[in-house]
Structure 1
Amino acid sequence: MTGLRQLLAEEAGEARTYDVTDRAVRVVKRRQLVTRLVPVAAALLVVAGLLAVGLPFGGHDGPDPAPVAAGLPARLVAEASPPVLPGEHGAGRAALAYSGDAGWVVVMTDGRQYRVDGLRVDGISPDGRWLLVARSDGTWVLRDLTGTARQEFGGGGNGATTAGPHWSPDGRRLVLQVGVTYLVDLAAGGSRATVPLDDRVCAVRNSGMLVLCPAPLAGLRLADGTTGRVLRDIPAAELGLRPTESVPADLATPMLGPDDRTLFIGTRDTAGRYLVGFDLDAGRLSERYPLPDAIPAAERSLNGGVEYGQPDERYLIGIHPDGPLLLHVTPSRSDPYTAGTVSIELIAKDTGALTTVTQVSRPITLICYPG
């Protein structure tokens, strides 16, 4: 073992080790692509009981995958013209949201689909009750999907948050940083308070404690959710990670697992990409997973130059109770220079097995997973 794999083995002898990818692909020099999908940064996913259609991308038009993860359907298909999400009455609870030809669409737990009026869906609470939508005027709307309650947050003109949103695993709290840090008490109908903080928030626990990330892989801080007072510093050495290790763009924000104690952190070294789980209560690494490598892109001559297509890649989109979820993006079989989202895959937390749990049909691109 070399690089981070060796370091983690030395620092966390008790951590479970899973190899979830067959690295039979030859090592090639990565080239800059002419076109790439924007790395998925928000948190992304899939849902229930929708019509099946043939998938346009390679290797995923066979039988439906086995239902191995609760709440995830075999297939996700976009509706051509879904109605607008009603504002005069509740619609139920959301299972996910996706981006397609109709813009952003929220899918309810009963399978109904509604078009969302806004720039994008920025988040769904873990219980599916609350929806956060960014608008083109640089503000956000927090909506109770089971009723009509809503509130707005101001922000920058481009609708970009400083950090967040982050939901507590029990769905009772939301942290949103838009110049100031808001802590929203969802259990109290959405009452909110500001927290004096200079650091970026990367998670909020059920207790209201905030997990702060001053800089990628520079360590963590635990802070009081009311006063912002730092309660504990966790240096990078305690995480078992070197500050010099690079952070993949799609793994730049740590994710708190549904157990409210395991913080998943992504990193990369010369041997590949990894996802490690740090137990905030025990103060040690509890698990780690090598992530599948990208398959190199196709290339062709073009007017005396070379055009590079899309690689076959996977991005972390969330943490399911059964394990981390990956979004699989792959080139079309008929045109390797066109890529699309084809599936959601689960890394089983107990065995480390990588399994397809949901097949995704075009034109769906991004998927927002609750939490």
Structure 2
Amino acid sequence: MTGLRDLLVEEAGDARTYDVTDRAVRVVRRQRLTARLVPAAAALLVVAGLIGVGVRFGGGGEQDPVPVAAGLPARLTPQASPPMLPEDRGVGRAALAYLSGDDENGWVLVAADGSQYRVNGLSVYGISPDGRWLLVLRPDGSKVLRDLTGTGRHEFAAGDTSSTARWSPDSRRLVVQISNRAAATDAVVTYMVDLATGARATVPLDLARHDRVCAVRNSGVLVLCPLPESSFSGLRLADSTTGQVIRDIPSTDLGLRPTETAPADLGTPILGPDDHTLFMGVRDAATPGSNAAPAGGGQNRFLVGFDLETGRLTERYPLPDRVPAAQRPLNGGVEYGQPDERYLLGIHADGPLLLHIAPSQSDPFTAGSVSIELIARDTGTLSTVTYVSRPITLIRYPG
């Protein structure tokens, strides 16, 4: 199996894993692990190989954020008892949304003007890149697409066991894939929503042969990522009207190193605002003791960008390494401390954004968001752009 397929199989094999927040919810909930679990599943990340502004674990040692990420606040703090998001009027475009505590129904929307609104009883599933559209998940599994500048809305049926949603960078298109894994055929339906007109069309993708949608371009062209059983190990581009594959990008053309495979903690592929750079995380299993291997062993971790126009790797940024997590005996087993880790949150005009989640200094077995960090595209420098106050645990960024 090639490095690219290793990278994408986990994402494409289960549609829900495209949602970085869904994965991070599981991390926040994971408070006690028994000795039968693999210790590597609970690892601390440290800032290594990156130069820039950082914070100590638990959010101490704060420095002034670097004011380079337009639209993001210098500090994100929960508002006491924010009002409900109104249904009868618009509130303006969203800057982001956050989850307070570990209650999946505790989502709060932050508008561009800084006002905050509770999204009561609903999970924020996605925000369009321009901040206009909010996609929420109801407890019954149905989804509602809401225009935050007005009252327009679209609904998607309930009763589905998994789904994905992908926006085009210009926010004109939304692709929703709905899968019922309880069905014998594992049926998957792909919808393309034109957000300018509200028109919804079914894309006739042959998903028995093709793969899952991991991005949609402004033109409507779909980017498909391979499933485990796929005979093709690269990326495919497909026409959203006919469902036909119009271009193959073999993994051998993408420029990954032979030793690079998928990391377990960076999240999903994200198409940048330029409409042609697809970002994803990789790790390089360099030989321990070699100059390429990080201190203390482990694996080098990178965020890479593929140019869909040329089919070539064009960007590569080093990321923090892993070190063993804190642990202590518990009821004859072992309790592992909350990992300190970073997720790919989104792509800002100035560079990729990472969400830094870390254990509390007073209690290493509880977690919270510490900061939003930006990787400068010209230098690869990691800088803190937003400090996050507890009890915020997760953040959803537009796109």
- The normalised TM-score by structure 1 is 0.80
CA distance in 1, matches of 2:63, 2:306: 37
Alpha-carbon spacing, 1:276–1:310, altered in 2? closer, same or farther (3 Å) = same
Q: Is the 8 A contact 2:265 2:342 kept in 1?
A: no
Q: Which residue is equivalent to 2:349? A: 321
Within 1, Cα distance between the matches of 2:175 and 2:311? 23
1:149 aligns with 2:152: yes
SS at match of 2:196: helix
Alignment of 1:341-360 (within 5 A): 341-360=369-388
What displacement does 1:66 show?
2.4
Check the 8 A contact 2:122/2:138 in 1, yes or no.
Answer: yes
- Segment drifting more, 207-216 vs 246-255: 246-255
Aligned equivalent of 1:62: 62
Q: Of the candidates 242, 247, 271, which is equivalent to residue 227 of structure 1?
A: 242
Write the distance in 1 (CA, Å) between the matches of 2:100 and 2:389: 10
Map Cα deviations across residues 307-332 of structure 1 (whole Å, 9 max, x no partner): 22123211111111111111111121
Distance in 2 of aligned mates of 1:286 and 1:57: 32
Q: Are 1:236 and 2:251 matched, yes or no?
A: yes
Moved more, 271-280 or 292-301: 292-301
How does 1:1-371 map onto structure 2 within 5 Å? 32=38, 58-60=58-60, 62-101=62-101, 103-158=106-161, 160-161=162-163, 163=164, 165-178=165-178, 179-188=188-197, 190-197=198-205, 198=207, 199-215=211-227, 218-241=233-256, 245-251=260-266, 253-270=268-285, 271-303=299-331, 305-371=333-399
C-alpha distance in 1 between matches for 2:250 and 2:315? 18
- Native 8 Å contact 2:267 2:344 kept in 1: no
Query: Following the alignment from structure 2 to structure 1, what is the Cα–Cα distance between the partners of residues 319 and 62?
Result: 24
CA shift in 2, pair 1:340/1:296, >3 Å: farther
Displacement of 1:127 in angstroms is 0.8
Structure 1 CA distance for aligned equivalents of residues 76 and 263 of structure 2: 27
Distance 2:248 2:223 in 1: 10
- Measured in 2, the distance between the counterparts of 1:205 and 1:152 equals 23
Q: CA deviation at 1:136?
A: 0.8
Q: Distance in 1 between matches of 2:80 and 2:39?
A: 31
Moved more, 88-97 or 330-339: 330-339
The CA distance in 2 between the partners of 1:215 and 1:360, in whole Å, is 36
Q: Tell me the matched-pair count.
A: 322
Counterparts in 2 of 1:218 and 1:266: CA distance versus 1, 3 Å: farther
State the Cα deviation string for residues 216-241 of structure 1 (Å, max 9, x = none).
Answer: 79211001111111100111111123
Task: Return the alpha-carbon distance in structure 1 between the equivalents of residues 311 and 348 of structure 2.
Answer: 22
Equivalent-residue separation in structure 2 for 1:73 and 1:256 (angstroms):
23
> Structure 1 244/352 Cα, relative in aligned 2: closer, same or farther at 3 Å?
closer
SS state at 2:223 partner: strand
1:34–1:309 CA contact under 8 A, matched in 2 = no
Query: How big is the shift at 1:56?
Result: 11
RMSD between aligned residues: 2.6
Structure 1 unaligned regions, length at least 5: 5-30, 38-54
Report the AA paired with residue 192 of structure 1. Answer: R
Per-residue deviation, residues 246-285 of structure 1 (Å, max 9, x unmatched)? 3223445311011001011222232322211111112211
User: Secondary structure of 2:149's partner?
Assistant: coil
Q: Determine the C-alpha separation between the residues in 2 that align with 1:243 and 1:144.
A: 45
Whether the 8 Å CA contact 2:129–2:170 is kept in 1: the answer is yes
How far off is 1:112 after superposition?
0.7
| Range with bigger deviation, 101-110 or 55-64 | 55-64
1:242–1:288 distance in 2 versus 1, CA, 3 Å: closer
Counterpart of 1:58 in 2: which secondary structure? helix
Q: In structure 1, how many angstroms separate the alpha carbons of the residues matched to 2:246 and 2:332?
A: 60
What is the CA-CA distance between 1:65 and the residue it aligns to?
Answer: 1.3
Q: Is the 8 A contact 2:42 2:325 kept in 1?
A: no
**Runs of at least 5 residues in structure 2 that lack an aligned partner in the other structure:** 4-36, 44-54, 179-187, 286-298
Q: Deviations over 1:12-42 (max 9, x none)?
A: xxxxxxxxxxxxxxxxxxx8359969xxxxx
Residue identity in the other structure for 2:204: P
Are the structure 2 counterparts of residues 356 and 117 from structure 1 closer, same or farther at C-alpha, using a change threshold of 3 Å? same
Flag the 1:33–1:361 CA change in 2: closer, same or farther, 3 A.
farther
Other-structure match for 2:184: none
